[in-house]
Amino acid sequence: MASKKMIATAIAIIIIVAIIAIAAQQFLTQKPKPQEVEIKIGLLVDLSGPLTTYGEDIRDACLIGVEDINAYFAEKGQPYRVKLFVEDTKVDPKVALDKVQALHGKGVTLIVGPMGSGEVKQIAEYVTANKIVIISPSSTAAPQLLGVTKPEEKKFIFRFVPTDAFQTEAIAGEAAELGIKGVVITYVGNAWGKGLADFGKPKFEAKGIEVKDVIEYPDPPPADFTPYIAVIEKDVNELLQKYDKTQIAVVAFSYEEVYTMLSQVNVNSPLLEVKWLGCDGTAKSRKIVDIPERVNKVGMYSTLFDSKGPSFDKLDKIYKQRYGRDIYQYALDAYDAQWVIALSFSEVYNKLGKYDPEEMAKIIPIVTEKYSKGEYGVTPVSGYIKLDEYNDRASGDYAIWAVEKSEWVLKGIWRYEENKIEWM
């Protein structure tokens, strides 16, 4: 009897030991939950200056982007989580530098933005010296106007939009096809505005269009535009001695301050009898509601980089449901920039076990291409992104928008490959 008890006890002990051994083995082989790795991304946008319409759209798209990216990493079982730091620069280069330095103080070394080329130029030295990676969704000035002479000097500065060499080709073609014979150019006095004016003038002339004058106004823009309006009006009056009013245009390489300028034009001025041609800084602005009659008269034909990718419809639907308006092109570029930054960070961290800015700068062009091809299981909202040797977007089409009956209407598309306009 005792022996049976001993046997039973021994069996019980063996079973208990086996259970403990199995549990211990499972415990030892179980992978610990990876510690969360925070990806700090700064967002430099204009929320109270001359590009507020577009800055708000970029911010709102990026807020959706944070949700989408974090959901992606969670679904993949990866430990990364994006945290967004939004800063208002007013498109003021000095403010932009202050904001970059403040973000750097918080440990932020990855930035979407800033929006303006003048801002990018202002912060270029600081971000390069401190190896801060930035992707601007809307800076379009040629690299030389940013103070860059060779690609190596721009290795931490990326731009997901084509330069003004493309846009001015579209604007000159638009003017020619509208029957314009003479123009007066006015521009905001920063790297972006100067770049458009410098690229634009010879392209107008190559189309046989007379450039009567090129007039710069300050950046930040003045509250009173009347001195500049007087010069533009004088030039237009002189052009009216040679051409019909339907053959004359004012070309504004401006931000949304152009609508302030228009509001200060005398109601009987010839400036309200000719066409106005804008650019990406004026297109689809919500400021037209302030001066509908004047904008209806001049049309404000404005070019805007136009590129949509496979994931556009999904984001557009969410954006409209949440904000009740259409999404702006540069918001698409910013959304994609966030994805590329986050995916590049994860690639670097997975490879090295830490973040390294030099490796980040090297891998972004590679990740951008893989992202464009859908190799991560997600696709761009702004179309295929190909970067040139200066880390700028290499090509693109431009939509032509104009105001009719106080609404922005798509009038045509300038096709880069054919260098011609498809009118609607």
pLDDT tens digits, one per residue of 124-139: 999 999 999 999 999 9
Question: Could you report the per-residue pLDDT of 181-232, keeping only the tens digit for each?
Answer: 999 999 999 989 999 999 999 999 999 999 999 999 999 999 999 999 999 9
- State the average pLDDT over residues 323-347: 97
* Rounded-to-integer distance, Cα 422 and Cα 411, Å: 9
Identify the CA nearest to 327 among candidates 64, 69, 46, 45.
64
Do residues 328 and 319 touch, judged by C-beta distance below 8 A?
A: no
Return the pLDDT at 25. Answer: 59
Question: Could you report the per-residue pLDDT of 380-391, keeping only the tens digit for each?
Answer: 999 999 999 999
Q: How confident is the model at residue 396 (pLDDT cuts 50, 70, 90)?
A: confident
Give me the CATH code for the 37-162+308-395 domain, please: 3.40.50.2300
Q: In which element (H, E) is residue 80 found?
A: strand 80-88
Identify the CA nearest to 324 among candidates 72, 141, 106, 57.
57
Return the pLDDT at 417. Answer: 83
The values of phi and psi at residue 19, to 5°, are: -60, -45
Confidence (pTM): 0.86
Task: Give how far the C-alpha of residue 197 lies from the chain's centroid of Cα atoms, to the nearest Å.
Answer: 21
Tell the residue number behind the tokens 């079982």, with chain if given.
77
Return the pLDDT at 395. Answer: 81
Choice among 14-18, 175-179, 364-368 with the minimum mean pLDDT = 14-18
- State the average pLDDT over residues 34-47: 95
SS3 283: coil
* Rounded-to-integer distance, Cα 412 and Cα 396, Å: 14
Return the pLDDT at 364. Answer: 99
HEC per residue, 341-382: HHHHHHHHHHHHCCCCHHHHHHHHHHHHHHHHCCCCCCCCCC
**What residue ranges do the domains of the chain occupy?**
37-162+308-395, 164-306+398-423
Q: Which residues contact 323 (CB under 8 A, 6 or more apart)?
A: 60
> Is the per-residue pLDDT at 28 higher than 50?
no
**Residue 122 corresponds to which tokens in the numbers above?**
């202002």
Tell the residue number behind the tokens 């721009």, with chain if given.
154
- State the average pLDDT over residues 108-126: 98
* Rounded-to-integer distance, Cα 148 and Cα 337, Å: 22
Q: Can you give the C-alpha Rg of the chain in angstroms? A: 27
SS3 272: helix
Q: Express as a percent the part of the chain with pLDDT over 90.
A: 90
Average pLDDT of the chain, as a whole number: 94
Q: Do domains 37-162+308-395 and 164-306+398-423 have the same CATH topology?
A: yes
> Is the per-residue pLDDT at 329 higher than 60?
yes
**Residue 134 corresponds to which tokens in the numbers above?**
């930035």
Q: How many residues does the chain have?
A: 424
CATH architecture of 164-306+398-423: 3-Layer(aba) Sandwich (3.40)
